[in-house]
Each structure stands twice: as C-alpha cells, then as structure tokens.
Amino acid sequence: MTIPHELVVAIDVGGTRLKGALVDAAAHRSHEENRPTPRGKSPDAVVDAIVAFATELTERGSRAGGTVAAAGVVVPGLIDESKGVALLSANLGWRDLPLRSMIESRLPLPLVFGQDIRAGGLAEFRLGAARGAGTALFVPVGTGIGAAMFVEGRPMSGGGLAGEIGHVAVDPAGAPCGCGRRGCLETVASAAAVMRRYTERTGRAASGGEIARLAGSGDPDARTVWDEAVDALAAVLATCTTLLAPEVIVLGGGLAESGGLLLDPLRGALDARLTFERRPRLARAELGDRAGALGAALLAWERLR
C-alpha cells in the first residue's frame, strides 16, 4: 500500500487493548494493529506501553516512506483534556493522574490527549453516522454507558465531567452503582446490567446479543430485561433531547450491535415521551471500534493545522 508523506499516530487505550493506527490527513488508515493493555500494572507501565507502541508505529510509517508529524492518544474514564489529567479511570485504576505530561516526557512527537468516548463521538460526527449534523449525541452502550455531546458543532467537555448519562438515576431504589448511588442507568441498561439481570431471573448466563435475540423471539425473561433496559434508556435520552435538541442520536457499543432489536423499540419508546421537542434521528454507529482511534487522529490533525 502507498503511504502518504505525512501521517499521525493514533492510539485508543482500552481496558484490554491498545488500538493503534497510522492515519493520513484525509482520515484514511494506512496501517492499524492492536497490543494488549498492561492492565493491573502501574500507570508507568501503561505509559511505557503507549510510548513503545507509538514508537513502533512511527518507525513503521518511516520505513514505508512517510513522516509522522504528531500523535493522538485517547483514554477511558473521566478525562480533563484541558489539563491533561485522567481524573478517574475505573478500568485502569487511575485517579488524578497527569497522563498527558507523563506521555509527552517520553514521546518525541507533538501530542494531543483526549477521552475515548468524546474522540469516538468526534469521528462519528465528522466521518460517520452523525456527519452533517450540527447538534448530536454519541451514546456507546457497552459495559458502561456514556455520551459525547456536540452542540452546534462544538464538543462539550465540562472539565472532563460532561456526558456521564450512565449515572442519571432511573430507579432511586434500584441496584447499587459503582458511582455510589442506586438505580443509575448503567445498572439497568448497560450490557453488563442486561446480562446480570437476565442471569438473576433465569440462572443462565447469556451475552447481550443473545438476550436481544431471545427477547425478539418472545422469551419472557429476556423480553422483560430487554424492555426495561430500553425503557430506561429512552427515559434518559428523552431528557437529553429536551435539554439539547439533538438532530441525531448515534448508538454505539456492544448492545447497538443488535441493530433493529435495540433501535426499533427504543425509537418508539423515545417518541412516546416527546411532545414539543424535535424528534432526533436514531442511528447505529458506523465506525465500530475504530471510532476512538480515528477520533484521536482527527484531534492530532487539528493540532497540526
């Protein structure tokens, strides 16, 4: 494959994998690969893994005749991009970690540092299911639930705290949440919650996709769990719609892989809750698990420009 002259390195740090890519100015990926995240080890070990991966990608681009001009790194959790601090990342055990400066001190490239959901939302906003919209929400529904918000073309960060819709209470007497409250959206509608609640009802383990298919075929236990998840998600998205008037809401993450089994009932449940509000278009994310790295690349190119 022909390598463009100028590239950026993009790395999306996940709880289990580092997803990396070389990306040109037109957002074309000339190379991508993964590495394991050294989860459970010290922050320095994770930073060393990020820097080593970025260095390998840089060298690969150089061998193919390209020049790597910058790096974009995005990480999970509560991230204050303006200060370069990982406020809290439960998956990786970080709290108040000056991650940007830790990476910059070891990586000889201009660095852009961000949060994975906002980066994924930026990619969907510019290149994917939300392109052309002025105001949009990107909502990944996976192990947890978060949101990236773009209002009249501008991303909202709130010092790293904006978009935590998974911690909106939908049942104050519900199950305890990791945030310290009870009955948060994540305790009902995340993939982890759907699987846990199905197992509690049946004694059987099943994936989120399997539960979706069982619900679609009329299994009563799966249908109850699935309907309650859809109802809770619709309630929170209705509030978001009243506040932000998004033109489109893009659903990503593991549960969105079920396609119409999620989007069709969610569309109906959301519509039933709205009166005067603009009805947003509901769409499935187009970029899948590539969105975070593509968003990191877009952030890096923005810095260069």
The CATH class given to the 132-285 domain equals: alpha beta
Mean pLDDT rounded to a whole number for the chain: 94
> In this structure, are residues 152 and 141 in contact, taking their beta carbons and an 8 Å threshold?
no
At residue 1, does pLDDT exceed 50? no
pTM value is 0.93
Cα three-residue angle 239-244-247, rounded to 5 degrees: 105
pLDDT tens column, 150-196: 999 999 999 999 999 999 999 999 999 988 999 999 999 999 999 99
Domain boundaries, the chain: 6-121+289-304, 132-285
> Rounded distance, CA 58 to CA 68, Å?
6
- Domain 6-121+289-304 belongs to what architecture? 2-Layer Sandwich (3.30)
Equal fold, 6-121+289-304 vs 132-285: yes
Which amino acid does the sequence have at 299? Answer: L
Beta-sheet pairing, 111-115 with 248-252? unpaired
pLDDT of residue 4: 55
> In this structure, are residues 273 and 235 in contact, taking their beta carbons and an 8 Å threshold?
yes
pLDDT tens column, 22-75: 999 999 988 999 999 987 788 899 999 999 999 999 999 999 888 999 999 999
pLDDT of residue 72: 97
Q: Kindly indicate the confidence band of residue 260, based on its pLDDT and cuts at 50, 70 and 90.
A: very high
pLDDT tens column, 113-164: 999 999 999 999 999 999 999 999 999 999 899 999 999 999 999 999 999 9
